[in-house]
Structure 1
Amino acid sequence: MASLFAHGIVGYTFTKVIDNKSLKWLVIAAIFSAIFPDFDVIAFKLGIPYMHPLGHRGFTHSIVFAFLWAFLLAFTLGRKNKLIWFVVILLSTVSHSVLDAMTSGGRGVGFFIPFNNERFFFPFRGIQVSPLGIQKFFSAWGLRVIYSEIKFVFVPCFLILVVRFLLIKMKSKFLSQT
């Protein structure tokens, strides 16, 4: 899996790109939703095997789960902005699985569970898989993870946010001249 930091920054970026109102609760929900699929690690404690549909990178990493989660949050928290909430939460949740499918470890991602229990990776797998546990994260392995996430997640998100900022600034300047 990618680290919580990488998943969170992608959720934040989706919120800032899609929602021009900067809704505080949407930002928090998007960051949480981008991290939430990894709560499936509790399956290990419950004796559920990794490759089981409810195991790690199983149902909570599926597109169906992302739709259900986005629908739930959009209609319970979205108030007047249900469509924006739905899109941001859906993309944030799916982004978790996309990042995990680009990591160097694990047994793949169950994108299509419950319809197909097969696990998948993308051809690009340059993001170093994050260790489970805080102690292992603060090690040479953790440093490799952070480096790969800076390169493949944080820099692209930063560039997207800079472009967004510049476009808003240009639009504001253009509107003030008319």
Structure 2
Amino acid sequence: MASIGHVAVGLALGRYEANGKATRRLLASMALFSALALLPDADVVAFVFRIPYSAPWGHRGASHSFVFAAGIALLVALVARWRGASATRWGGLAFVAVASHGLLDALTDGGLGAALLWPFSNARMFAPVRPLPVSPIGAGMLSPRGMYVVGAELLAFIPLWAYALWPRRSARRS
């Protein structure tokens, strides 16, 4: 994926979390959950260290697993608790944000699949249907194929973009 869909998930989760609160809270939530939804792709650093794509710590490996998502969710829950917020709510939303990344990557039509069940299995998995085009990595995003992927993702995630960005009426003061 070209990250367009991952950002859409994060923005929608941020909108849900903010639930009509102040604009500053909304923007902070949207930024946080978008970053969490993108976090698994930090594994591209593996290319710099010459870690093979197919290795457990390669691209779409361990960082795309449900165990990784649960670990990040636990950290977010602990921070939320420390700050006096609902650990369950924040941890749950963080899990959805991070776990959605691997699931969405499993819906792409290329690559090696995602190691969703790591560390129990190093197998890379794809969904039974794969409607999302896989994106080129790096400068390839500026190619015609890259632009096609961006367009396809924008269209595929219209419902999330609309939910996240559609203007809402502010609550009336009584």
User: TM-score band, normalised by the shorter chain?
Assistant: 0.7 to 0.9
Aligned-pair CA distance for 1:11: 0.8
Please, which runs of 5 or more residues in structure 2 have no aligned partner? none
Distance 2:118 2:6 in 1: 21
Percentage of pairs with the same residue: 34
Alpha-carbon contact 1:29-1:89 (below 8 Å) kept = no
Alpha-carbon contact 2:8-2:161 (below 8 Å) kept = no
Aligned-pair CA distance for 1:92: 0.7
Residue 16 of structure 1 pairs with residue 20 of structure 2: no
Distance 1:121 1:36 in 2: 20
Aligned-pair CA distance for 1:77: 4.6
Match runs of 1:1-178 below 5 Å: 2-20=1-19, 21=21, 23=25, 24-77=27-80, 79=83, 80-133=85-138, 135-153=139-157, 155-161=158-164
Distance 1:77 1:3 in 2: 30
Alpha-carbon contact 1:129-1:145 (below 8 Å) kept = yes
Alpha-carbon contact 2:65-2:116 (below 8 Å) kept = yes
Which structure shows the higher helix fraction?
Answer: 1
AA paired with 1:100?
D
Q: Deviations over 1:9-57 (max 9, x none)?
A: 1111122124414634332221101111011111122122112111111
Distance 1:13 1:26 in 2: 10
Aligned-pair CA distance for 1:97: 0.9
Q: Deviations over 1:114-163 (max 9, x none)?
A: 01111111122121111111x3212211121012102222x121354589
AA paired with 1:6?
G
Question: TM (normalized to structure 2)?
Answer: 0.84
Distance 1:12 1:74 in 2: 19
Q: Deviations over 1:44-80 (max 9, x none)?
A: 2212211211111111000000010111122125521
AA paired with 2:42?
F
Distance 1:75 1:93 in 2: 16
Distance 1:164 1:121 in 2: 36
Please, which runs of 5 or more residues in structure 1 have no aligned partner? none
